């Protein structure tokens, strides 16, 4: 029951997204299974910091990345803090547990030449499925929105008069993102295809399956991955790669971090600062190529 209360707290009070909630549930279930099967514990009241450390070691030994182990540890920290606030525990067993060190991971973005090839040379299928695939790719790259945000877009979220899209982000925070005239025209063309394919659609969602139902996460990922695989060999070929490309290319073109932060819907500027890396590398190359003494040893 305590686990159920914790998940309800995350859902109704913290207003976590369904995807985040599912991840927390899975992390918690895995930990509880581990302490029962490997440690012989039947109650979280008996959990000590050494049990949690053993679980982290177990995850790493299984080949889990340090980043994954850290995320699971964050779930436990939230869970035990919840139990203490509800007076189920007096001592937090995670307090003495340090997170595994994680190397800095730079976001993977596509080259501009790859995106040009995607939109100018790739042939999309005729009919609704092809129009949907192209529109998903254009929208993700042109706005930087997350997969979940694109999936949840309604027709009423698009304001052609003001040339903007209303996006409902993490924590139910709304933001407005501008759309270019070209993107607006392409959206109108897509909507014509949608209306022709599903004149009596029962859903107001912007993107639908081939049967006229709201798009689901796996299908959107598969659509993006299939098309990106045609133009890039990057390890990251899902919707997030287009979000990274959006932010990276804005940064390279001189957009300020605060503006990029607002467009991405980040709550903290620290989350946005990683996109400055590629811009700094580009500036180093410009300096190397352009400065008279950049290539000399006696600068």
Catalytic machinery residues: 146, 170, 240, 243, 266, 275
Reported as type and span, the H/E element at residue 123 is none
* Residue 9: φ, ψ to 5°: -60, -45
Read off the tokens for 264: 């991405």
Q: Is 190 exposed, middle or buried (0-12, 13-18, 19+ CB in 10 A)?
A: buried
Structure token pair of residue 121: 């040379």
- What are the tokens at 299? 């600068």
Which of 240, 229, 233 is CA-nearest to residue 105? Answer: 240
In degrees, rounded to 5, the angle at the alpha carbon of residue 291 between the alpha carbons of residues 288 and 295 is 50
Q: Give, in order, the Cα–Cα distances in Å from 104 to each of 66, 71, 111, 146, 162.
A: 11, 15, 21, 22, 39
Give the three-class secondary structure for 248: helix
Specify whether the CB–CB gap between 152 and 205 falls below 8 A: yes
Smallest CA-to-CA distance from 227 within 147, 143, 148, 136 is with 136
**161: Cα within 13 Å, side-chain hemisphere:** 2
Q: Are 174 and 167 in contact (CB under 8 A)?
A: yes
What are the backbone dihedrals phi and psi of residue 159, each rounded to the nearest 5 degrees, phi first? -115, 95
């Amino acid at each position: 029951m305590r686990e159920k209360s914790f998940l309800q707290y995350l859902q109704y009070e913290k207003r976590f997204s369904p995807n985040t909630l599912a991840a927390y549930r899975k992390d918690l279930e895995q930990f509880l299974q581990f302490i029962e099967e490997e440690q012989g514990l039947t109650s979280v009241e008996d959990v000590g910091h050494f049990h949690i450390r053993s679980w982290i070691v177990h995850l790493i030994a299984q080949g889990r990345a340090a980043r994954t182990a850290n995320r699971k540890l964050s779930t436990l920290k939230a869970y035990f803090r919840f139990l203490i606030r509800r007076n189920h525990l007096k001592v937090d067993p995670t307090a003495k547990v340090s997170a595994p060190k994680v190397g800095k991971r730079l976001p993977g973005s596509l080259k501009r030449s790859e995106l040009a090839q995607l939109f100018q040379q790739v042939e999309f299928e005729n009919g609704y499925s092809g129009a949907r695939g192209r529109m998903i790719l254009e929208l993700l790259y042109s706005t930087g929105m997350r997969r979940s945000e694109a999936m949840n877009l309604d027709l009423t979220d698009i304001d052609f008069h003001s040339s903007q899209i209303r996006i409902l982000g993490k924590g139910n925070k709304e933001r407005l993102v501008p759309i270019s005239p070209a993107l607006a025209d392409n959206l109108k063309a897509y909507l014509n295809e949608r209306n022709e394919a599903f004149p009596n659609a029962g859903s107001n969602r912007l993107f639908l399956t081939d049967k006229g139902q709201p798009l689901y996460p796996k299908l959107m990922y598969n659509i993006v991955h299939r098309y990106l695989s045609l133009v890039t060999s990057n390890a990251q070929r899902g919707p997030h790669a287009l979000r990274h490309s959006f932010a990276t290319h804005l940064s390279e073109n001189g957009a300020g971090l605060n503006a990029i932060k607002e467009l991405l819907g980040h709550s903290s500027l620290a989350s946005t600062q990683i996109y400055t890396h590629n811009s700094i590398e580009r500036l180093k190359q410009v300096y190397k190529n352009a400065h008279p003494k950049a290539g000399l040893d006696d600068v």
